[in-house]
Amino acid sequence: MAEASPLEKGAHPFSAYEFTLARRYLGARRKDGGIALIAIISFLGITLGVAALITIMSIMNGFRHELMSQLLGVQSHIYVDVRPQQYGNLDALTPEELTALSDEIAAVPGVVSVGQRVVGQALVSVGGRTGPAQVIGISREELATIERVSGTPEPGGNTGIQFGTFDGFGDGRNGGDIILIGQQLARNLGVMPGDEITLIGASGTATPFGMTPRRKAYEVGGVFSVGIYEFDQIVVFMPLDQAILFFSLDGPETIEARVANPDGMDPVLDEVVNRVRGRGIIYDWRQQNRSFYDALQVERVAMRMIMALVIGIAALNIITGLIMLVKNKGRDIAILRTMGATQGAMMRVFTTIGLMIGGVGAIGGVLLGIVLVLNIGVIQNFIQIITGVNPFNPEVYFLTTLPARLDWTEVTFAAGFGLFAAFLAAIPPAWRAARLDPVEALRYE
């Protein structure tokens, strides 16, 4: 019986000689039939693709997290609309019944605060300048729980009372005449704390000439910022009793509650529905921001698909490089086959080369992506200095800074997809190498 060749003696799937052969082929110089330059280009393509995917998805995650945190830091989580004029199947509630319903909602486990509110639209005018405003009537006690409005900003912080004070809000007859306005609205009007502005409401007094819009002057007690440009540009907080008077209402129009865990609030919401029992129309923050929330989700999926396509295109270089390598190393492959190397061994050698390129590229992409994400603010400032243009305009994105939030699930997905794309790209040339006929390859040698 013939003695087995060295390859046959120690050969088994993923043996040391397969890895050694793959490493030598990958590092071979061009004059020896290697593809070092193409391998480097392929490596850089995978690296940049993975880094771009990590960076883009981190920005998308940061964007979503920051916006939702800021929205939920200002907005309520559960709304109970009790307006009979808006919904014909509701009975008007007396002040006592409204208070009793608020107490029932406050007793639900998981609810941390409950308040009654009025929301209306008005025009704000001062010194010939006018603009739209959303007036929110709210009690002093409830507003004090919203740190992003009434809180004292931390050093360098952009939320809370920026100018003036929260003191005096809600004091006086019918809540007094002191209001809080958003920072962007204050800038547009050119007002500061202590200045007077005039609010003009649609409801007013009936006269022989028709309805006269209601006009009333209020003192700006404080200027707040919640960090959302659109919110800071339009919102005015007014004492609840004063808002009821200004809009000529019989009482509060909604009961609003905040919960401890907005993302897992379904059990709390179900209990609130049971306790309201048809006395109001109930909806939550997810329905309130449905179009915005869905848009973020669609954008996130679309960006992931686009960046994954970029990685896939980068992996095409691996196909080109390995096909050239198979062609250049055809004689070597034929000799190995005659020495006992199997088709499977040849296929594993070339898929290993693809995995080496993809693996090193994925690791490099992860490291580069993490560095970019951790220094995203520096990069934003650098681009702004060089171009003179803010790449993250707060008027467009409703945020004043570019957010980025690393999600290790996304990092794992990016690295795994880069490696998987490299593996798929290596299969066609590996299959070609495995099917190479040794007789044909050596016929003219």
Is 106's pLDDT higher than 90? yes
Q: What is the pLDDT of residue 299?
A: 83
- Asked whether the predicted pLDDT for residue 42 surpasses 70, the reply is yes
Give the pLDDT band (50/70/90) at residue 399: low
Instruction: Indicate the range of 37-51, 188-202, 398-412 predicted with least confidence.
Output: 398-412
pLDDT of 1 over the 60 cut: no
Averaged over 283-294, what is the pLDDT?
Answer: 84
Q: Which has more pLDDT, 191 or 8?
A: 191
The answer on pLDDT for 94 being more than 70 is yes
What average pLDDT is seen over the chain?
A: 83
pLDDT at 204: 63
Higher per-residue confidence, 112 vs 380: 112
Residue range 83-110: mean pLDDT, rounded: 83
pTM of the model: 0.69
pLDDT above 90 (res 370): yes
Q: Max CA-CA distance within the chain?
A: 120
pLDDT of residue 209: 59
Q: What is the pLDDT of residue 384?
A: 81
| Structure confidence by residue, pLDDT tens digits, 420-441 | 999 999 998 889 888 877 766 6
